[in-house]
Every structure is written in C-alpha cells, then in structure tokens.
Structure 1
Amino acid sequence: MTTEPSHAGLEAAFLENRDKLLRFLRARGAGDAAEDLVQEVWLKIVASPPGPVAAPLPYLFRVADLLMIDRFRATRQSGVRDRDWVEVNAGDPPGATSQPSAERSLSAAQESAAVLAMIERLGGRVITVFRRHRIDGVAQKIVAQELGISLSTVEADLRTAYRALAEWKDKSR
C-alpha cells in the first residue's frame, strides 16, 4: 500500500489500533456493524485531505464515534420514514373497500346454500357427522360416541361428504 507522507502517520495509527477501534465501536453498541464502521473510518482517512494530525489515535476514535452516530441517525430516520409511510398508506386505497361487493356477497351466499343443500342430500347422519366434526370442531371419536356409531362409520361418512364436496368443486370450475 503506497501512501503520501502526510497520511502515513494516520494510516499507521489506524493499522496499529484497528482492533481497539473495533472494541470501542462494539462497546458503544455498533454490534455487527462495527466492521463496516471501521472500514468507513479507513475510507475517511484515505480520502481526507493531507495534513498533520497532532493526536492520531483520539482523532480515529472521534471519526469512528461520529460515523456510528451518523449511522444510528440514518437508521432511526429510516424507521421513522417507514413507519410514517405505513401510517399514510395503511388500510384500503382511496375509493376501495375491504368489504366484498354486493354481487360477490350474493354469489357467496348462493354458493353456500348450494353446498349445504348438496351435503344434506347425502343423508341425515352424514350431515350431522360433517357438521359436528368440520364445523363444530368435535373430535371424530366423540362424534362416534355421541351418535352411538363406530369410529370407522364416522370416517366413512366424512369420506362421503368430502367426495361430494370434491365433485361439486370440480363441477363449479
């Protein structure tokens, strides 16, 4: 690495004290960003105009501290900017609503009625098993006990209902 004589003292101080700068930045809360900040310190001293520095080590610590403060402020401002953007743009876009249209609501109601009618045509026990298990969330074993039937009968009734739903879904596509 070739350097101008006026930078030699500062660069030498940096190279000798790189680990101290890292520890300093980590102790100040830089965490994983400490390595990046040390690299930024290096770039700053290489790009700075040549000139004598009376106390190179305190100068390097001050540069590192100021860079960390700048990064902290930028991160904080970014968070504020993001939060403000979310607040402004939250919810539905202008002129739109999260509520379904009247046509969609009517269509969904008609579709639900058609599905329930189709399941009810499968028989009373099948619809009771389906409703207790899938809608009420009751375990199959308990449904079997409530209705006085075997667990395999509950499973067969559910398969019947699922098959009918799958056929209905295939037809409606």
Structure 2
Amino acid sequence: MSDQDGSAGLEAVLIAHRQQLLRFLDSLGAGDAAEDLLHELWINLHARPTAPIGRPLSYLYRAAHNLMRDRYRSARQARLRDRDWHQLTAPDEIEPGPPAIERAAIARQSLDRADRALMALEPRARTCLRLHRLEGASQKEVAIALGVSLSTVESDLRRAYAALLAAKAELDLE
C-alpha cells in the first residue's frame, strides 16, 4: 500500500465521521470555527502522506484535538502580545491622585473628625461601637458584657453610626 493509500483511507474515515468530529470540535469550544478546523485537518491529511493507520478515527480525534490546542495557544499568545503592546504604547489612562503627603493629611483630618464625633457620644455608645465593630463581638455579646438590653445596644450603635456619618458629610462638604 502506498503513502497515498494511507491518506485516502483517513480521508474516507473523516468524511464518514464528519458530524462526530464537528461535534467533538464544538465540545472543545470551537464554535463557528469547527468547520474551518475540520477543513484544516483535511488539508493536513493531504499535505502529509501517511502510512496506513491502525485506528484512523482515534488518529483523527487526536489530530482535531491538537488543532484546537494550537488554536487556543495562538489566541492566548495574541492576547498577551496585544496586552503588552497596549501597556507599552497607551498613555497613562488613570489620572494620578493627590500626592502622598496630601493623602496623609486628608486621612489625618478624617480621623480627627471621626474621633471628635465619637468623643461627643456618651461612653457606653463608644464602648458598644468599639466592641461590636473593632473587636467583632456580636450585639448580643455586647449587651451581656455591658449589662444592658439588646435594644439599648442597637440604639447606641445607631447613634454612633449617625455621628460618624455626620462627620463624613462635613468632610465631603469641605
């Protein structure tokens, strides 16, 4: 049997199992490119004469899988190349924020404002907020620790949150 007989036998198997191979390529994510890949497989069979294959259908599935893998690799490389090119050539799209010294001053001012707002609260409300928000105690645990009802803890937390929101609103207006 000549080399041409090997590729002719594979071509006959490809034609006989065309729909199965298309479904296989589609299951690998080929989508609309499944027909193109199958055509590329057919061209590859004609370009490289082969000896007779013992399991031609398995050979075609493996060749189709390899084509899909090559396509994925090529697409990934193109995305990486485009991303790298964009990073090299694109101007800075994000406007720089205020300098670090200015950001630190703003943060210090915000913290001072929040501290003053909390200091204006009664000590129990400050303690409720500290235990609940900073130390992670549940509202029920805070109520037990302070010897007050759960509704008192909720009320104290509402007052503390309102004071912090008011301090934030003042900063936003400045």
TM-score, normalized by the shorter chain, greater than 0.5 = yes
User: Letter of the aligned partner of 2:66 in structure 1?
Assistant: I
**How many residue pairs are counted as aligned between the two chains?**
146
Q: How does 1:1-173 map to 2 (within 5 A)?
A: 14-21=14-21, 26=24, 32-33=27-28, 36=31, 38-39=34-35, 40-42=37-39, 45=42, 65-76=62-73, 78=76, 82=80, 101-173=100-172
Quote the offset at 1:33 in angstroms: 2.4
For residue 136 of structure 2, give the secondary structure of its aligned residue in structure 1: coil
What is the percent sequence identity of the aligned residues?
A: 31
Quote the offset at 1:63 in angstroms: 6.7
Q: Residue by residue, what CA displacement relative to the aligned partner does 1:127-146 show, whole Å, maximum 9, x if unpaired?
A: 11111111111111111111
Q: Residue by residue, what CA displacement relative to the aligned partner does 1:5-52 show, whole Å, maximum 9, x if unpaired?
A: xxxxx98865532245358xx5xxx67127657522247659x99xxx
Q: Displaced runs of 4+ in structure 1, greater than 6 A?
A: 10-13, 58-64
**Pair 1:76–1:107, CA change in 2 (3 A):** same
Aligned-pair Cα RMSD in Å: 4.6
Q: Residue by residue, what CA displacement relative to the aligned partner does 1:43-92 show, whole Å, maximum 9, x if unpaired?
A: 7659x99xxxxx8xx99976764453233134245269749x78xx7xxx
**Within 1, Cα distance between the matches of 2:155 and 2:127?**
13
Q: Residue by residue, what CA displacement relative to the aligned partner does 1:102-159 show, whole Å, maximum 9, x if unpaired?
A: 2212220221122012111111111111111111111111111111111111111111
Unaligned runs of 5+ in 2: 1-9, 47-51, 93-98
Provide the TM-score with structure 2 as the length reference: 0.59
Unaligned runs of 5+ in 1: 1-9, 50-54, 94-99
- Structure with the greater relative contact order (CA < 8 A, sep ≥ 6): 1 or 2? 2
Kindly indicate whether the alpha-carbon contact (under 8 Å) linking 1:144 and 1:151 is maintained by their aligned counterparts in 2: yes
**Within 2, Cα distance between the matches of 1:156 and 1:104?**
34
For residue 28 of structure 2, give the secondary structure of its aligned residue in structure 1: helix
User: Letter of the aligned partner of 1:71 in structure 2?
Assistant: M
Kindly indicate whether the alpha-carbon contact (under 8 Å) linking 2:139 and 2:150 is maintained by their aligned counterparts in 1: yes
**Within 1, Cα distance between the matches of 2:29 and 2:117?**
66
